[in-house]
Structure 1
Amino acid sequence: MKIAAQIVLWGLSIFFGYQIYKSVSGPLEFKKVKEKRFAKVISRLKDISKSEEAYRVVNGKYTSNYDSLVHFIENGQFTITSQRDTSWMEYDPIYKIDMPKEGKIIDTLGFVSIKDSLFKNSDRYKKMMYVPYTDDSKKFELEAKTIEKNGYQAPVFQAKVHKEVLLQDQPKDLVAQELTTENITEDIKGPEIIVGSLEEVSTSGNWPTIYDAKTNNNKE
């Protein structure tokens, strides 16, 4: 009986010791996993954002179609221009004399490939629409439209993914906590990771600046 009791006590000690270890190491491991995944997501959202901005510069609007965005990157061009002041004399019908006039002349110097400008020798733009860690089975939600701001029709876009898509294999209680986080200095507030806005003229993301340094190591 004594030996059996000792075995039971040892078993309980090991069990409770493991539970204590798990309660401490679990959140730490979850933090490592989520930060690694979030950083890769943000890297791709940044690629989408700069691609959309280039698309707007050339076309005057954003696009909600990834095929159009990829085609634009592969075939589009930026126009390189220079601007210079000029002046001349022009007859004024009111004063009946030649009057000095001033203006600007815009010269086209050449063209540069969108792909070379944004991605150089990389073709990672071909995968920027896919959410990492989903085996390319999920795409970022992408929407573009026009809103009225101060009497002006402004193009806007938004790309986003729900955190649960990235953390579906993680402990449910820790994921639930993550979806309601309010620590905006180190964590991404709310249930989604977002770049751009459909209510405001913005191309910013909702992540804290701490992630900007991490994304430098996630370029594919």
Structure 2
Amino acid sequence: MAPIVSILLFLVAIFLGYKVYNSIMGPVEFNKAKEERYKKVIAKLKDIKAAELAYQEVVGGFNGDFDSLVQFLDTAQFAITQRRDTVYDDVEKNKAYGIDEGYYIEEVLIDTLRFTSVKDSLYAGDRYKTMMNVPGTDTKFDLDAGTLDKDGTKYAVFEAKVSKDVVLQGLNKDLITQEKMVQSVDGVNGEYLKVGSMNEVNTSGNWPKLYDTAKDQ
């Protein structure tokens, strides 16, 4: 009887040891996998943001269709300009006061020097053609664009997002649920990884600065 009890106690000890180990290492492994996935997803969201801001600069407004956005990037060009300040006599005012000079007009002139490809300025290679795909999944980002009326003024807005459920698929479900409830300065707040907003004038992402490089800030 004693050997059986010893074996049972040994098995219980192994089980409890596994549970303790898993309770410690489970969140550690989850966070490691989460960080790797978030980095890849956020890199895509940054590409989408760059495309939208370029579209706004060249065309005006934002674009809520990925195919149209890619077509824009295929052909669009930035104008490279130079600003010049110039001053010249205000002939009419000087004449009205009976003087040759004394009053001047200041103007700012913008000269277009050349044009450069938008896609070559923003991306290395043609990765913009796959910016709509959520890394590691068969899912595409949700993209929307439109206008927001704020105090009688209409502002162009856009939003690209993906649920954390999609990004973290296959990991511990309880930890995913906890992650979706995060509200922290150092965390990705809410249920989505996203950039932009349809509810406020904002083109930033909802991730903390630790995911940004010096170039992004």
Q: Could you tell me the TM-score, scaled by structure 2's length? A: 0.88
* Greater CA drift, 137-146 or 147-156: 147-156
User: Alpha-carbon deviation of 1:215?
Assistant: 11
- In the TM superposition, residue 83 of structure 1 has moved relative to its aligned partner by 2.3
Q: Sort the Cα spacing of 1:211 and 1:101 in 2 relative to 1 into closer, same or farther, 3 A.
A: closer
**How many angstroms apart in 1 are the aligned matches of 2:120 and 2:114?**
14
SS at match of 1:207: coil
- Which residue number corresponds to residue 212 of structure 1? 212
Within a 5 Å distance, the mapping from 1:189-204 to structure 2 comes to 189-204=189-204
The equivalent residue for 1:19 is: 19
Aligned to 2:117: 113
| Corresponding position: 1:48 with 2:48 | yes
Q: Indicate conservation of the 8 Å contact 1:158/1:197, yes or no.
A: yes
Asked if 2 retains the 8 angstrom alpha-carbon contact of 1:43 and 1:215, the reply is no
**Shift in CA distance, 100/11, structure 1 to aligned 2, threshold 3 Å:** closer
The 1:215/1:114 distance shift into structure 2, 3 A limit, reads closer
Secondary structure at the counterpart of residue 171 of structure 2:
coil
Deviates more, 1:186-195 or 1:1-10: 1-10
Name which of structure 1's ranges 51-60 and 98-107 shifts more when overlaid on structure 2: 98-107
Give me the whole-angstrom Cα distance separating, in 1, the residues matched to 2:199 and 2:126: 31
Cα drift, residue 104 of structure 1: 3.0
TM-superposed deviation, 1:150: 4.1
Q: CA deviation at 1:96?
A: 9.1
2:132 to 129, 133, 138: 129
Deviation, 1:102, is 3.6
User: Aligned equivalents of 1:54 and 1:214: distance in 2?
Assistant: 20
* C-alpha spacing 1:114/1:30, structure 2 compared with 1 (3 Å): same
In structure 2, runs of 5+ residues without a counterpart are: none
The answer to whether the 8 Å contact 1:42/1:215 transfers is: no
CA-CA distance at 1:213 after TM superposition? 4.4
What whole-Å deviation, never above 9, does each CA across 1:136-160 have from its counterpart, x for those lacking one?
Answer: x211111110122344321111111
Tell me, in whole angstroms, the C-alpha distance in 2 between the residues paired with 1:142 and 1:215. 25
Look up the SS of the partner of 2:82 in the other structure. Answer: strand
Q: Determine the C-alpha separation between the residues in 1 that align with 2:148 and 2:30.
A: 39
Q: Deviations over 1:55-113 (max 9, x none)?
A: 10001110001111111212100011122233255446x93978754433322111010
Q: 2:104, 2:185 → 1: CA distance? A: 57
Partner of 2:140: 139
For 1:1-220, list aligned pairs within 5 A: 1-86=1-86, 87-88=88-89, 90-91=91-92, 95=96, 100-119=104-123, 121-134=124-137, 137-182=138-183, 184-213=184-213
Q: What is the CA RMSD across the aligned residues, in angstroms? A: 2.3
- Count of residue correspondences: 211
> In the alignment, residue 156 of structure 2 is paired with which amino acid?
P
Distance 1:78 1:215, change over 3 A: closer
Q: Deviations over 1:138-195 (max 9, x none)?
A: 111111101223443211111111100111211111111111122x222111111111
What 5-or-longer segments of structure 1 have no aligned partner? none
Shift of 1:214: 11
Task: For 2:169, give the aligned amino acid.
Answer: Q
Give 2:107's aligned amino acid.
Answer: G
**2:112 is aligned with what amino acid?**
T
